[in-house]
């Protein structure tokens, strides 16, 4: 399975270590892939900052490199405030490029979980669905702090 990953531009200097670990261990949003199926990253880039100009063009390059799915990194969910465009990005990429988009990569780190829980950031049915693939249990979240 070949995947492309978009990260939030706020985290543009991220080296991708948590995403790569989650891929290797099939954790977070990568648990949907069979463990015996190799995962290959064929694209890794930022959204290019709000409102996400790179979302229009970068999926084409990822697809040319064989992408079969695109992940919107967990940073879109845990940054504060969470990305206000995340569902628009998903809808746009899926419609324009006819490729599945998964929200999330690695499990949400515990420190972000605590902050957003106290703030009530994800207290809606919409956000409950958005964070579901990356919420994990407390031990897993702590291991990603």
Q: Model pTM?
A: 0.95
pLDDT tens for 87-97 read 999 999 999 99
Domains located in the chain, CATH noted: 2-143 (3.40.50)
Cα 122 from Cα 28, distance rounded (Å): 17
Residue 38: strand, helix, or coil: coil
143 pLDDT band, cuts 50/70/90, is: very high
Contact 58, 6 (CB under 8 A): yes
What count of residues does the chain have?
145
Determine the Cα angle at 98 with ends 22 and 45, to 5°: 45
Q: What is the pLDDT of residue 49?
A: 95
Cα 83 from Cα 79, distance rounded (Å): 7
Cα 67 from Cα 35, distance rounded (Å): 18
pLDDT tens for 2-50 read 999 999 999 999 999 999 999 999 999 999 999 999 999 999 999 999 9
Q: What is the pLDDT of residue 82?
A: 95
Q: What is the pLDDT of residue 63?
A: 98
Q: What are phi and psi of 94, to 5 degrees?
A: -65, -40
Q: What is the pLDDT of residue 9?
A: 96
pLDDT tens for 113-130 read 999 999 999 999 999 999
Average pLDDT over residues 68-74: 98
Q: What is the pLDDT of residue 18?
A: 96
Contact 130, 122 (CB under 8 A): yes
Q: What is the pLDDT of residue 144?
A: 97
């Amino acid at each position: 399975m070949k995947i492309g990953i978009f990260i939030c531009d706020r985290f543009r200097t991220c080296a991708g270590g948590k995403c790569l670990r989650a891929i290797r261990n099939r954790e977070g949003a990568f648990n949907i892939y069979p463990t015996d199926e190799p995962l290959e990253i064929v694209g890794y880039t930022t959204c290019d900052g709000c409102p996400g100009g790179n979302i229009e063009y970068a999926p084409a390059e990822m697809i040319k490199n064989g992408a079969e799915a695109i992940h919107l990194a967990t940073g879109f969910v845990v940054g504060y405030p969470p990305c206000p465009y995340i569902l628009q990005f998903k809808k746009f990429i899926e419609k324009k490029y006819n490729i599945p988009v998964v929200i999330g990569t690695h499990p949400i780190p515990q420190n972000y979980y605590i902050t957003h829980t106290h703030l009530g950031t994800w207290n809606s049915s919409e956000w409950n669905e958005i964070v579901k693939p990356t919420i994990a249990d407390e031990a897993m979240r702590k291991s990603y702090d």
